[in-house]
Amino acid sequence: MVDHLGADAVVLAGTDLNLAFDGQATNYRVIDALDVHIALLADLITGRATL
């Protein structure tokens, strides 16, 4: 879709998508929403981030 339609990004948001795509090679950047959530929660718990 990125190449075909010239999109800058495609967002598939959901913390369970890693189950469907885990370990698959892609030619585009993948950001796992679950990893982002866990990192933020860890930063909040340790005081490195605030809301």
Is the separation of the CB atoms in 40 and 49 below 8 Å? yes
Predicted confidence at residue 26, as pLDDT, reads: 79
Distance CA 40, CA 45 (A): 9
Give the confidence band of 15 by pLDDT, cuts at 50, 70, 90: confident
* Consecutive H or E run containing 50: none
Give the confidence band of 4 by pLDDT, cuts at 50, 70, 90: confident
Name, in order, each residue with C-beta under 8 angstroms of 48's C-beta and a sequence gap of 6 or more.
Answer: 42
Distance CA 46, CA 20 (A): 31
Give the confidence band of 1 by pLDDT, cuts at 50, 70, 90: low
